Amino acid sequence: MTKAHQKRVVVTGMGAITPLGNTLAEYWDGLMAGRNGIDTISLFDASRHDCRIAGEVRGFDPTLYMDRKDAKRMDRFAQFGVAASKQALADAQLTIDESNATDVGIIIGTGVGGLRVMEDQQEIYLSKGPDRCSPFMIPMMIANMAAGLTAIHTGAKGPNSCSVTACAAGSNAIGDAFRLVQHGYAKAMICGGTEAAITPLSVAGFAAARALSTRNDDPHHASRPFDKNRDGFVLGEGAGILILEELEFALARGARIYAEMVGYGLTCDAYHMTAPSPGGEGAARAIEGCLKDGGIAPDQVSYINAHGTSTPANDSTETAAIKRALGEENARRVPISSTKSMTGHLLGGSGGIEAIATVMAVAHDRIPPTINLEQPDPACDLDYVPHHSRACPVVVALSNSFGFGGHNVTLAFRKFVPGL
């Protein structure tokens, strides 16, 4: 399909369950205030673990979005996905009924799916035997259930899928949904990412790989992207869901439009299981591909929401990738921030909440900060909007997500101009 025949795609609703709050407004207000969402782990006894801190979702009540019986048959990651999806539909004022159900689809990504259920059932298997395992174990743990259960709870009967590309999963879900609307396979898509992997085994595994911060005595300052003294990422959890609609479908129903989605780039490093390719070569190609897809010149980029994990390898490599893709002069001009400094790293859920932060920056002309950036790494020498949010025009914004396995994704959003 030629560009001239592709549908225009707009963002009309968003929902967020995050360590900063369990609504879109709470999340955005937390970002703007530079509030920390990281603290000592309370979801399990982490006293034996090297890492004892995380960005937990607190005060979440699944029964606000589903009945108690349904909630008990869902892993936490699926509860988050259904809840954020219902929030997003309400925000978009999009009602799914018999007239449009087959036109509305769902793609919700996740990195690991129902890990807590799998761990709990393994304990039951070992202590009580195989006949005591739950008949709901498999449907609770498989990664596609956030998307499948969201369809059951909303009635959306259009294209339905699940991306499982590690920390790029949420962004892949949004990008793939964008393509479906752009090419006419759906008129609206519920899309984003969800994760609930703050579990004993998950924390132990990431710590064994030396990926996590061990700043246990100072959790509020543990996630410090681009800082010289960063020592690893902080695990987070939650969900971020966007409603993407074909422009004419949105206009016909009088929808409010936050921004237009205009570009999607995805590549693979084909280099290493966990380490990024030298110089950010793969990440740079994703950024370049996104710019090309959206017809965006490097000097038009107003803001970049960085992957910014607070790991030694990612932050310097992403800095190099941005310079490589935009050119040195443009890279030094554009404001960049990592909202993971406040939420921690939601793995497959990160692309969802970070796309929301990017869209809100476009809609409100305000850029979230990178908190805890006290001593910049000399290899990270760009404008990372330290400490405080910034008011400035945001016309075109990018959101980067990179995952284990070498997955690289960049999304582009533009300020919507009626009649353009």
Where in the sequence numbering do the catalytic residues fall?
167, 307, 345
- b/e code 297-333 from CB counts within 10 Å (16+ = b): ebeebbbbbbbbbbbeebbbbbbbbbbbbbeeebbee
> Contact 160/148 with Cβ under 8 angstroms?
yes
Q: How many CA atoms lie less than 13 Å away from 343 in the CB half-sphere?
A: 40
CA 55 to chain centre: 14
Dmax of the chain from CA atoms? 65
> How do strand 336-337 and strand 303-305 relate by DSSP bridges?
parallel
Separation of alpha carbons 29 and 8, rounded Å: 29
CA 84 to chain centre: 12
> Contact 234/54 with Cβ under 8 angstroms?
yes
Angle (nearest 5°) at CA 83 between 213 and 191: 80
Separation of alpha carbons 365 and 373, rounded Å: 22
Angle (nearest 5°) at CA 191 between 301 and 305: 25
Report residue 391 as tokens. 């008011």
Laid out side by side, the sheet with 396-403 consists of 160-161, 104-109, 188-195, 238-246, 9-17, 259-268, 407-414, 396-403, 303-305, 336-337
Across 63-157, the runs of DSSP E, i.e. the strands, are 104-109
CA 104 to chain centre: 21
> Contact 171/399 with Cβ under 8 angstroms?
yes
CB contact set of 122 (below 8 Å; sequence gap of 6+): none
Separation of alpha carbons 346 and 182, rounded Å: 28
